[in-house]
Structure 1
């Protein structure tokens, strides 16, 4: 049976799982969770994820939640298929792991706040963005991307010279931000801008975005 992803096609975390499966050329089933109706906070979904957050994932008798745990499993389980998103050399993988941690702890918290303020806040609760919060977080994001600019002067991608999970994990929030004024924070840094343009154009990511159009 094909793996199943329980989530919402507009959820950044769910999109992260979709993108990984597409990169690995793994067929999968999407089980839509209606977040507006609160399905992610009710049974049967909370039996998959007790924290009531999407996505959840099922592959045979394995059940997972937390998108980065799902992407890591898929990358290793389907070794030899599609794009090798991880290394099997311990030193190379240590570098990828480092930048995966950077994304999770430095990039994503700020980027997610900007996605909320500039896109989701009005969509879900009908409120306008807090301009002070946007400005503050754009400044913080710029400081993170300054570090990325230096890193990308040394390798094509964050984890080395090949596209890995360290890059892929950025895609969902980055996609949303490119439709806002925060795009300029990326554009202002030439190497970051080129990197973003490169990874956002990957066929697997285009397939992930197509799922939103089908919804």
Structure 2
């Protein structure tokens, strides 16, 4: 049975799963969930994710939700395909896990409101960003990226010398900043800039996002 992903291209969590599948070169069926009509809260979706969120994921008889858990499952279950996203070395994998946790608990909170103000409001509702919110959230993101700049001055990728799930998880929310004025926060830090450029030039990112970012 084909892998099925229930989600939306406007959902960073859905994009995380799609990027992982693309990196692993795995075929899948994307079943678009209409967020505007609240489809994610309907019974058929609550059966797949009891919290009424996306994505939901099916691989045969396995049903999962929570995008980071789904991505980790794909990386382990399909270890022999595509890009190795989790190192087989337990020490290297532990470092990758650290930066995956950083993405979830430091990066995501710092960037999520920017994604809403600069991308979602404009694309979905034709509204302008609240500049006061953008300015305040930029400072939070800049503080996090200062730590990233230090890390990436020592290694090409967050987990070490190889692209991993830790890097991949950053791409969806970062994509919402590209082409906005806040993109400069990325490029003011040369190592962060190089990391982002490298990431969005990857074939998986080109496939999911349509065109290279740079």
Cα offset for 1:123?
A: 3.9
What SS does structure 2 have at the residue aligned with 1:182? helix
Unpaired segments ≥5 residues, structure 2: none
- Number of the residue aligned with 1:62: 62
> Counterpart in 2 of 1:176?
176
Aligned to 1:47: 47
Contact 2:118/2:176 (<8 A) preserved: no
Tell me the CA shift for residue 26 of structure 1.
Answer: 0.8
Note the residue ranges of structure 1 that are not aligned, 5 or more in a row. none
Report the alpha carbon displacement of residue 126 of structure 1 after superposing the two structures with TM. Answer: 5.2
Give the SS at the match of 1:26: coil
- The DSSP-based 3-state class of the residue aligned with 1:115 is helix
- Which residue of 2 is the match for residue 191 of structure 1? 191
Whole-angstrom distance in 2 between the partners of 1:11 and 1:179:
18
What is aligned with 2:131?
131
CA separation in 1, counterparts of 2:78 and 2:71?
Answer: 11
Supply the distance in 2 between the matched residues of 1:179 and 1:13 (Cα, whole angstroms).
20
State the 4+ residue runs in structure 1 displaced beyond 2 angstroms: 121-128
Q: Deviations over 1:89-125 (max 9, x none)?
A: 2111110000000001111112111010112124445
Question: Residues 22 and 208 of structure 2 are in contact (CA less than 8 Å); yes or no, is this contact kept in structure 1?
Answer: yes
Task: Determine whether 1:165 maps to 2:165.
Answer: yes
Under a length normalisation based on structure 1, what TM-score does the superposition of the two structures give? 0.95
Provide the rounded CA distance (Å) in 2 between the counterparts of 1:12 and 1:150: 26
Aligned equivalent of 1:101:
101
Distance in 1 separating the partners of 2:203 and 2:128: 34
Deviation, 1:61, is 1.1
Q: Under a length normalisation based on structure 2, what TM-score does the superposition of the two structures give?
A: 0.95
